[in-house]
Amino acid sequence: MARNTQVSADANAPPITQILANFVANHPSRGWSDAVDHEAHRTFVNWLGCAVGAAHHEAADAALAAVQMLQPAAQASVLGRSERVDMASAALINGITSHTFDFDDTHLKTIIHPAGPVASAVLALAEGLSASNAASGRPAITGRQLIDALVLGIDVSCRVGNAMYPDHYDRGWHITGSTGTLGAAAACARLLGLDAHKTAMALGIAASQPIGMREQFGSMTKPFHPGAAARAGLMSALLASKGFTSSPKALEAPRGMMQTISNKNDWSEITHELGQRFEISFNSYKPFACGIVIHPSIDACSQLRTQGVNAQDVQRIELKVHSLVLELTGKKEPADGLQAKFSVYHGCAAGLVFGQATENEYADSIVNRPDMLALRRKVVATVDDSIDEASADVTAVLNDGRRVHVFVAHAIGSLQNPMTDAMLEGKFRGMSDSVLGAQQSIALITAAWGMGQAENVSALAALAQP
Amino acid sequence: MARNTQVSADANAPPITQILANFVANHPSRGWSDAVDHEAHRTFVNWLGCAVGAAHHEAADAALAAVQMLQPAAQASVLGRSERVDMASAALINGITSHTFDFDDTHLKTIIHPAGPVASAVLALAEGLSASNAASGRPAITGRQLIDALVLGIDVSCRVGNAMYPDHYDRGWHITGSTGTLGAAAACARLLGLDAHKTAMALGIAASQPIGMREQFGSMTKPFHPGAAARAGLMSALLASKGFTSSPKALEAPRGMMQTISNKNDWSEITHELGQRFEISFNSYKPFACGIVIHPSIDACSQLRTQGVNAQDVQRIELKVHSLVLELTGKKEPADGLQAKFSVYHGCAAGLVFGQATENEYADSIVNRPDMLALRRKVVATVDDSIDEASADVTAVLNDGRRVHVFVAHAIGSLQNPMTDAMLEGKFRGMSDSVLGAQQSIALITAAWGMGQAENVSALAALAQP
């Protein structure tokens, strides 16, 4: 009953829960550089496009059908669809769709996909609060409030992730969901204007709900993780706002969240430069709808295309990559789109033929096209561990004997070589145009870039529904 | 990225998820002895009384206020109150109230409080389904279906608990919530009539949502754990019913739930005598509203009273107990009701004066009564580790010099000395009479005992609302 076999318990952790709560409740609005604020908008744009793009995926259909059994009130938008549901359910579903294509953002230090839990929670809550405020004559939630909450929430989840990574991830946790609940709770507490005490309670309630196991990768429950984290975080903040209590040491105590789910906890990752360095600065966005180790190879083949190499003229593609690339994505003859996501060969073919590898280039019909099949077979991959995991060395040997060589040190989308804003827009439209139409997609993108100045978040939400 | 530092991963676990899913989906209705079925009713009665009793606790008020922000549909009852909310929110709130007094059931082998997550989920779901069935001309959910689901769901959570206990608990998990999600999902899958495949998916979705850290003990988030587990399990079953997918090895895989949250996993605890031995048989019910180590002392003092000892005649009470009792509950001068729950001294005083220690005897006004204060000071506690933790040796030394001795080997409420059905009714009415009135409480108890024969669960739910 009073047994204690936990040998590594640290009873002297700093008061992390309180420190983070003070930060979230009291940090000034837009209390960061223009660069950070712009990155927050890039994060928001990228997240929104992903959520709209997967709106009609079967995972979204199934989740929405389950939620409809609760006869939800029409408080907030299901992005990319016409349905409206209660705030908490909207957070769930938008969180699911934003991660369904595995095309969302990545905080590379922890492999956290930070926007899913946080942005899904704050947009749904902001919509719901704006509506209820309007009904009682109070002002709407502004875009500024939303961006502030997004930056602070992502800082909380990524800092907690930094503290626990890699042990926590290696143990089996899908770190996006397990830390995302805290990020969503922090962001929603900020949006609700909770004081530091109630913010600590919200973080504490969220701390009892880490979500997600890596075994789920490959099933709908993977994208469920950020969705469920968004929902749980939102509800934790609502509960705290009504006086629900939790341990004020819920994160750091020996039997609190972090020590229970990770043997490594570097508390300084949470406290160091808090309020000065913002983890959202280190967010990255995928240009290609597949695992990140394939990206340098796709980028290289896409550059061959830009240099005038035509797939029909290619006799052979010589690809040199780190062994990890073939270990994870060495599927030479993928049978469908899902398998193609684990095929560096298909990635090379898509890069050369289309100059891109979005969700469209992973359609079964594209993957099974005879020319794509033939081209994949022309890729000769060799392991060279002197090449970094983040790089690729590609040579096209043409039918006329010419050789065209491209070396990619850092693929597009990496921190060293980030996607431009225009590229993010292109990615957005690649997902959104077929859902909302080109014109509305353009309007939605414009609204998203202008979020920090928006008087009412609901205008954007309306544009995200067909 | 492909790092693997998890040394203890067992890649050869039996297919637990599938085994449990087959069991839950296919075990025959009432496929157990009369004794098991009666214990299921005792579990249900005890859970119901606890939930009704705490209906107006401030934790219930706060949780309901948060849920009301979602403008929930009136699908299911908040027990002991007039409000109705959606099924998932009813599962949450009834799960919270059933554990708020810490007066619910205990599966002693694991310290799981099994009814909270499972019964709260199935009653709310049964109510909601009955209403929607009625609207479409289909039959209501019967009490038999509910009792079947309760037995099977509790078997799932307690067996998973048996497999992981004690490491999982020692690590910091509040095992009631972490295993309760699975139990609730199993029970709801059964109630929905899901086949074995979809039941496995429901268990898999639930496996990504273990809930609860022990650090929360003493805050409202402790009872939140069974509530949140009930809600998460119910939603997992609804999602699976609509085609949402999860890993079919979500429980047992190396990076599945169980290996991620426990270093000990004895798979045979799940498979051994599955469908023959039912863990609900080993459920116990607290006669006293405090930690179980105090129970033998209260029981002994209550027996002194039965033997004619009057508090006014007592000069001294000599209490001999195991050291653990004083370590956990050695508070000699409790300032209020909450502190008194950690005072074996108050327990002795309550037993001698009232012959019981329900929530009423832990009211601040009782705890601070001068005669209670004086009596607590007359208790002289001595450590004797030759006495079992589950026993107590008490001698009342009277003013006239007489000594009255009682030794309790197994306190009332233990497996060896269970509460009678009449005692459970008395406990129920001690909580319910002040909420629903005596007459309705009696009717509700009658309905609960008859649940296995009820044509429609909704009749009982209606009686549980004032």
Which residue in A112, A281, A278, A280 sits closest to A211, CA to CA?
A112
Pairing of the two strands A392-398 and B76-77: unpaired
B2 contacts on A by Cβ (under 8 Å): 324, 327-328
Task: Specify whether the CB–CB gap between A110 and A161 falls below 8 A.
Answer: yes
Question: Which among B216, B224, B295, B328 is the top mutation candidate for probing chain A, defined by the most A β-carbons within 10 Å of its own β-carbon?
Answer: B216
Give domain status of residue B413, yes or no.
Answer: no
Residue A137 has a CB neighbour count (10 Å cut-off) of: 6
pLDDT at position A176: 97
pLDDT digits (tens, 9 = 90+) for A35-45: 999 999 999 99
A204 contacts on B by Cβ (under 8 Å): 216, 219, 221
pLDDT digits (tens, 9 = 90+) for B214-242: 999 889 999 999 999 999 999 999 999 99
In this predicted structure, the answer to whether residue B296 has a pLDDT above a threshold of 70 is yes
| Whether residues B298 and B215 fall in one domain | no
pLDDT at position A8: 61
Provide the shortest C-alpha distance from residue B209 to chain A (in Å): 5
In this predicted structure, the answer to whether residue B177 has a pLDDT above a threshold of 70 is yes
Give domain status of residue B416, yes or no.
Answer: no
Across chain B, mean pLDDT equals 95
Q: What percent of chain B has pLDDT over 70?
A: 98
| Whether residues A260 and A309 fall in one domain | no
Provide the shortest C-alpha distance from residue B362 to chain A (in Å): 21
pLDDT digits (tens, 9 = 90+) for B56-71: 999 999 999 999 999 9
Give domain status of residue A100, yes or no.
Answer: yes
Residue A3 to residue B111, Cβ atoms within 8 A: no
For the record, the structure tokens of B61 come out as: 């008020």
Residue A213 to residue B250, Cβ atoms within 8 A: yes
Residue A75 structural domain = 16-286+448-463
CATH number of the domain to which B264 belongs: 1.10.4100.10
Provide the shortest C-alpha distance from residue A75 to chain B (in Å): 8
Q: What is the DSSP annotation of A7-32?
A: TT--TT---HHHHHHHHHHHSPTT-S
| Whether residues A119 and A171 fall in one domain | yes
What is the C-alpha to C-alpha distance for residues A284 and A404, in angstroms, rounded to an integer? 30
Residue B426 has a CB neighbour count (10 Å cut-off) of: 15
Give domain status of residue B52, yes or no.
Answer: yes
Q: What is the ipTM of this complex?
A: 0.94
Between chain A and chain B, how many beta carbons pairs sit less than 8 Å apart?
A: 227
Provide the shortest C-alpha distance from residue A202 to chain B (in Å): 10
| Whether residues B269 and B181 fall in one domain | yes
Report the residue from A1, A172, A209 with minimal CB separation from B260: A172
Residue A211 to residue B209, Cβ atoms within 8 A: yes
pLDDT band at B1; cut points 50, 70, 90:
very low
Provide the shortest C-alpha distance from residue B34 to chain A (in Å): 32
Give domain status of residue A359, yes or no.
Answer: yes
Give domain status of residue A420, yes or no.
Answer: no
CATH number of the domain to which B343 belongs: 3.30.1330.120
What 3-state class would DSSP assign to B363? coil
CA angle, B363 then B302 then B396, to 5°: 110
Q: What percent of chain B has pLDDT over 90?
A: 93
B232 contacts on A by Cβ (under 8 Å): 228
Question: Which among A96, A260, A294, A338 is the top mutation candidate for probing chain B, defined by the most B β-carbons within 10 Å of its own β-carbon?
Answer: A260
What 3-state class would DSSP assign to B207? helix
- Give the side-chain half-sphere CA count within 13 A for B64: 21
Residue A205 to residue B225, Cβ atoms within 8 A: no
Provide the shortest C-alpha distance from residue A220 to chain B (in Å): 5
Provide the shortest C-alpha distance from residue B255 to chain A (in Å): 4
pLDDT at position B256: 97
Report the residue from A220, A238, A250 with minimal CB separation from B245: A220
* B320 strand-pairing partners: B382, B393
Residue A208 to residue B224, Cβ atoms within 8 A: yes
Task: Specify whether the CB–CB gap between B353 and B375 falls below 8 A.
Answer: yes
What 3-state class would DSSP assign to B335? coil
Output phi, psi for A173, to 5 deg.
-80, 135
| Whether residues A231 and A331 fall in one domain | no
- CA B77 vs. chain centroid, Å, equals 19
What is the C-alpha to C-alpha distance for residues A103 and A326, in angstroms, rounded to an integer? 21
Pairing of the two strands B314-321 and B379-383: parallel
B208 to chain A: closest CA residue: A212
B7 contacts on A by Cβ (under 8 Å): none
Please list the pLDDT of chain A residue by residue as tens digits (466 residues): 333 444 468 889 999 999 999 999 999 999 999 999 999 999 999 999 999 999 999 999 999 999 999 999 999 999 999 999 999 999 999 999 999 998 999 999 999 999 999 999 999 999 999 999 999 999 999 999 999 999 999 999 999 999 999 999 999 999 999 999 999 999 999 999 999 999 999 999 999 999 999 999 889 999 999 999 999 999 999 999 999 999 999 999 999 999 999 999 999 999 999 999 999 999 999 999 988 889 999 999 999 999 999 999 999 999 999 999 998 899 999 999 888 988 999 999 999 999 999 989 999 999 999 999 999 999 999 999 999 989 999 999 999 999 999 999 999 999 999 999 999 999 999 999 999 999 999 999 999 999 999 999 999 999 999 9
In this predicted structure, the answer to whether residue B40 has a pLDDT above a threshold of 70 is yes
Pairing of the two strands A403-408 and B76-77: unpaired
A232 contacts on B by Cβ (under 8 Å): 228
What is the C-alpha to C-alpha distance for residues B419 and B438, in angstroms, rounded to an integer? 21
Residue B87 to residue A70, Cβ atoms within 8 A: yes
B213 contacts on A by Cβ (under 8 Å): 207-208, 250, 255-257, 260
| Whether residues B113 and B158 fall in one domain | yes
| Whether residues A21 and A163 fall in one domain | yes
Give domain status of residue B442, yes or no.
Answer: no
pLDDT at position B134: 93
In this predicted structure, the answer to whether residue B24 has a pLDDT above a threshold of 60 is yes
Task: Specify whether the CB–CB gap between A317 and A395 falls below 8 A.
Answer: yes
Report the residue from A63, A207, A249 with minimal CB separation from B239: A63
What is the residue whose two structure tokens read 């290696």?
Answer: A170
Longest Cα pair distance anywhere in chain B, in angstroms? Answer: 78
B235 contacts on A by Cβ (under 8 Å): 66
What is the residue whose two structure tokens read 């690729």?
Answer: A392
What is the C-alpha to C-alpha distance for residues B136 and B446, in angstroms, rounded to an integer? 30
Residue A247 to residue B218, Cβ atoms within 8 A: yes
pLDDT at position A218: 86
Helices (H), A242-292: 257-261, 268-271
Give domain status of residue B441, yes or no.
Answer: no
| Whether residues B120 and B151 fall in one domain | yes
Q: What is the DSSP annotation of B3-69?
A: ----TT--TT---HHHHHHHHHHHSPTT-S-HHHHHHHHHHHHHHHHHHHHTTTSHHHHHHHHHHHT
**What residues contact B454, with CB distance under 8 A and at least 6 apart?**
B142, B143, B144, B146, B447, B460
- How many domains does chain B fold into? 2
What is the C-alpha to C-alpha distance for residues A358 and A274, in angstroms, rounded to an integer? 36
pLDDT at position B7: 47
| Whether residues A262 and A309 fall in one domain | no
What is the C-alpha to C-alpha distance for residues A222 and A213, in angstroms, rounded to an integer? 8
B75 contacts on A by Cβ (under 8 Å): 70-71
pLDDT at position A3: 38
* A314 strand-pairing partners: A398
Residue B216 to residue A72, Cβ atoms within 8 A: no
Residue A71 to residue B69, Cβ atoms within 8 A: no
| Whether residues B388 and B337 fall in one domain | yes
| Whether residues A186 and A261 fall in one domain | yes
| Whether residues A48 and A170 fall in one domain | yes
What 3-state class would DSSP assign to B269? helix
Provide the shortest C-alpha distance from residue A105 to chain B (in Å): 16
For the record, the structure tokens of A347 come out as: 């990635």
